């Protein structure tokens, strides 16, 4: 695929375990692809600052990458997951959106006995992050919710809803099996989107949005993933 927004920048400083924490069993969506999807969504939405939500947030890795690199373009971030461990992990990663949060994380790293080399690696990454931080960081709300049961009661409509759907190997839907979880996901996220809102959803190569429910803005094949950029038609 051709990257129009993420370019050829080196985002290795955001690699899992460097600044953003990696949590065992929680997969990480590619940073460059995450930022490209954000750029395409922002172009389609047409707002200066977006309200972003990930209902399958896991460790909050993707939202945190957006929140660090594109912070000036984000008004609010919402993250939820059905797993309490994921919710705590997402709170940890999204706490890094301020200078104070980054400094506190470095202090904890030093207190745990990190080597001088590890601290230097962290400091190098921070130097790359700091120019992207806004004077007023995005509002962040992290909460537990099962998106397969219902749409959460958010205080505002969402401009960009991003989701890397569970599809095997490391993660699976936590579901009762009564109906297709992907269909329930799509049905429950539609009411959350603003009129100009955009949904980026990644899944297996056979992932298909419900017929007639969405305008297909883009279709991206990325490794073993298929990503759709969609806008509800209703």
pLDDT in tens, 34-73: 999 999 999 999 999 999 999 999 999 999 999 999 999 9
- Identify whether the C-beta of residue 162 lies closer than 8 Å to the C-beta of residue 63: yes
Rounded distance between C-alpha atoms, residue 230 and residue 144, angstroms: 25
Q: Which of 55, 14, 1, 88 is nearest to 192 (CA)?
A: 55
Segments making up each domain of the chain, as ranges: 24-95+134-232
Return the sign of the alpha-carbon dihedral for residues 143, 171, 85, 200. negative
Decide if domain 24-95+134-232 falls under CATH 3.30.70.2740.
Answer: no
**Which pLDDT value is given to residue 135?**
93
Number of H helices, E strands in the chain: 6, 7
**Which pLDDT value is given to residue 230?**
97
pLDDT in tens, 185-201: 999 999 999 999 999 99
CB within 8 Å of 74: residues ≥ 6 apart: 49, 50, 51, 52, 66, 67, 138
Give the rounded percent of residues in the chain with a pLDDT score beyond 70: 92
Q: Which of 168, 159, 165 is nearest to 208 (CA)?
A: 165
Rounded distance between C-alpha atoms, residue 208 and residue 229, angstroms: 11
The neighbouring-strand residues paired with 221 are 226
Instruction: Report residue 222 as tokens.
Output: 């990325």
Rounded distance between C-alpha atoms, residue 190 and residue 96, angstroms: 29
**Which pLDDT value is given to residue 1?**
75
**Which pLDDT value is given to residue 7?**
75
Average model confidence (pLDDT) for the chain?
Answer: 90
In this predicted model, which residue has the larger pLDDT, 21 or 148?
148
The mean pLDDT value for 202-223 works out to 91
pLDDT of residue 172 exceeding 60, the answer is no
pLDDT in tens, 80-120: 999 999 999 999 999 999 999 999 999 999 999 999 999 99
pLDDT in tens, 152-169: 999 999 999 999 998 644
pLDDT of residue 176 exceeding 80, the answer is no
- Identify whether the C-beta of residue 214 lies closer than 8 Å to the C-beta of residue 207: no
120 sits in which H/E element = helix 116-129
């Amino acid at each position: 695929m051709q990257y129009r927004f993420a370019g050829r920048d080196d985002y290795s400083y955001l690699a899992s375990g460097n600044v953003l924490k990696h949590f065992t069993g929680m997969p990480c969506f590619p940073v460059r692809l995450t930022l490209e999807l954000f750029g395409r969504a922002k172009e389609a939405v047409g707002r200066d600052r977006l309200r972003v939500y990930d209902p399958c947030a896991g460790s909050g890795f993707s939202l945190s990458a957006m929140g660090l690199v594109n912070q000036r373009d984000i008004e609010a971030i919402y993250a939820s997951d059905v797993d309490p461990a994921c919710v705590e992990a997402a709170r940890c990663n999204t706490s890094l959106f301020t200078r104070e949060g980054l400094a506190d994380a470095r202090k904890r790293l030093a207190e745990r006995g990190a080597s001088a080399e590890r601290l230097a690696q962290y400091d190098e990454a921070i130097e790359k992050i700091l120019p992207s931080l806004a004077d007023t960081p995005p509002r962040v709300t992290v909460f537990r919710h099962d998106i397969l049961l219902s749409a959460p009661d958010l205080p505002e409509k969402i401009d960009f809803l991003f989701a890397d759907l569970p599809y095997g190997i490391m993660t699976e839907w936590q579901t009762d099996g009564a109906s297709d979880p992907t269909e329930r996901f799509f049905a429950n996220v539609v009411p959350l989107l603003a009129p100009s809102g955009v949904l980026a959803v990644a899944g297996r190569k056979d992932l298909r949005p419900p017929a007639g429910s969405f305008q297909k803005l883009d279709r991206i094949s990325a490794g073993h993933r298929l990503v759709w950029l969609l806008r509800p038609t209703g």
